[in-house]
Amino acid sequence: MSRSAHPAGPRHADVLPEGHYAAPPADLNQLDPRVWSRTVGRNADGVVAVGGIDVTTLAEQFGTPAYFLDEADFRARCRAWREAFQEQGEEREGEGADVFYAGKAFLSRAVVRWLNEEGLNLDVCSTGELATALAAGMPAERIALHGNNKSTAEIERAVGEGVGRIVLDSFQEIVRVAHIAQRLGKRQKVQIRVTVGVEAHTHEFIATAHEDQKFGIPLAGGQAAEAVRRALKLDGLELIGIHSHIGSQIFDTSGFEVAAHRVVGLLKEIRDEHGVELPEIDLGGGLGIAYTSEDDPREPQEIAKALRDIVHRECDAAGLAVPRLSVEPGRAIVGPTAFTLYEVGTVKELPGLRTYVSVDGGMSDNIRTALYDAEYSVALVSRASTAEPMLSRVVGKHCESGDIVVRDAFLPADLAPGDLIAVPATGAYCRSMASNYNHALRPPVVAVRDGQAREIVRRETEEDLLRLDVG
């Protein structure tokens, strides 16, 4: 985008950052459909609406900050993932594919019901997530339990409830799960999570397939093969497959292809050594979404095809029957479906630098900018504006200078206290990682669909805070 689109030039042009905000967009009122959820649009009067309801009405009804989740978009994304993987799985007889939504991205009882209705399975990584899933009627056999340090109580609960699979993450856990299953008179279906030694191109904290980290058992040095040997000997376990999750916010399918290649290599070793063909592989989640207009995520169809092709090729080469494939997208389903709505409180211009726009939330409702240097977009949504673009930093109200929501953004220069601004693509890992820092009250999640809005997670209250503080 050329800067000449703004003859006056943006304010603070001398400090323009690199990347997405190197130049202001031609029209600040425009909402990029890749970044905003499906039913979001700007009305003729300039006010943005979601699911047929204006943000001004939503703010009046539910207050700010608040997350607004586009239910139609959520369901459409569930269907797109399920259909993409099922169609791919139907190409050859007897094969199938399962989509497990990763609950850590965002989970509530309403979400569980939608998943159930849309035919998705669920991946949980704590008893809290398991309890939410069961409370909303997800059948236990469609739940997978993850975690690198599941407690005895968690394992007992999961085995007792009859979860469909437990993903084993260490040598100790192999024995622990086997003993608990035996004690409960069950044979628990399990997968073994391996690290395949792929360097995923993403932030260090969300990359999980290189060997030097806490998740999984390395393929390198024969450790994963040894884990399989041990699991196959234990009566309490039914080893159904191998699991790999290479990281998060990944755009390129090549890392998954290497992972699939190495996982199938292990299946072949297992067949050769034990005469057993494990029936399943899980390639985890991690597919990236568009947080800014520069991000270009793959469609589920394309991902499904790439993964299936590589698994077919590798299995054909190894003389193995193609196993049932599963994937665990979290962010790619819920991330794009929600935005956070904030009210502008102060606008502080630092001449020659930038303008600090303070909102009524911050790192307590979105820690991702501070934690991962995540980039976000932002727009004025309570009205349209023809003012010149102003280089802004959207910051929260917490006592921390790293309390940044959007590091570099262009907002209209006439932005004023009381305006509503919205940050899109906050459906994943924002409410689920929200905190009470500074005793902030965590915002509600409001589902909007066909002109109806309802809280699916209500706003916290002072009473909620004080109830935990037992004096």
Residue 311 or residue 390: which is nearer to ligand LLP going by CB? 311
Residue 28 or residue 217: which is nearer to ligand LLP going by CB? 217
> Is 238 marked as binding a ligand?
no
φ/ψ of 269, rounded to 5, equals: -55, -40
> Is 330 marked as binding a ligand?
yes
Is 120 within 8 Å of 101 (Cβ atoms)?
yes
Pairing of strands 354-359, 379-380: unpaired
Q: Is 399 a catalytic residue?
A: yes
> Is 329 marked as binding a ligand?
yes
The single residue of 78, 125, 315, 399 carrying the catalytic annotation is 399
Residue 187 or residue 324: which is nearer to ligand LLP going by CB? 324
Q: Smallest distance from the beta carbon of 128 to ligand LLP, in angstroms? A: 15
> Is 368 marked as binding a ligand?
yes
Q: Smallest distance from the beta carbon of 166 to ligand LLP, in angstroms? A: 12
Residue 146 or residue 393: which is nearer to ligand LLP going by CB? 146
Q: Smallest distance from the beta carbon of 402 to ligand LLP, in angstroms? A: 16
Residue 89 or residue 247: which is nearer to ligand LLP going by CB? 247
Q: Which tokens hold the place of 349?
A: 């211009």
> Is 402 marked as binding a ligand?
no
Q: Smallest distance from the beta carbon of 408 to ligand LLP, in angstroms? A: 19
**Which of 345, 353, 363, 437 lies closest to 393, judged by CA?**
353
Alpha-carbon separation of residue 328 from 40, 127, 331 (angstroms): 26, 18, 10
Q: Smallest distance from the beta carbon of 182 to ligand LLP, in angstroms? A: 26
> Is 67 marked as binding a ligand?
no
CA 65/CA 419 separation, integer angstroms: 12
Q: Smallest distance from the beta carbon of 76 to ligand LLP, in angstroms? A: 17
> Is 400 marked as binding a ligand?
yes
Q: Smallest distance from the beta carbon of 330 to ligand LLP, in angstroms? A: 3
CA torsion sign for 214, 127, 107, 62 is negative
> Is 101 marked as binding a ligand?
no
CA 338/CA 147 separation, integer angstroms: 26
Q: Smallest distance from the beta carbon of 458 to ligand LLP, in angstroms? A: 23
Contacts of 217 by beta carbon, 8 Å cutoff, 6+ apart: 169, 170, 171, 192, 193, 194, 195, 223, 224, 227
Residue 12 or residue 331: which is nearer to ligand LLP going by CB? 331
Question: In the sheet where 53-54 sits, what is the strand order?
Answer: 41-42, 48-50, 53-54
Q: What angle do CA 170, 171, 172 make, to 5 degrees?
A: 90
Is 145 within 8 Å of 166 (Cβ atoms)?
yes
CA 328/CA 120 separation, integer angstroms: 10
Interface positions with ligand LLP (CB under 6 A):
102, 104-105, 123, 146, 206, 245, 248-249, 284-287, 328-332, 368, 372, 428-429, 433
Residue 208 or residue 358: which is nearer to ligand LLP going by CB? 208
Q: Which residues are annotated as a binding site for pyridoxal 5'-phosphate?
A: 286, 328-331, 429
Q: Which residues are annotated as a binding site for substrate?
A: 331, 368, 372, 400, 429
Catalytic residues: 399
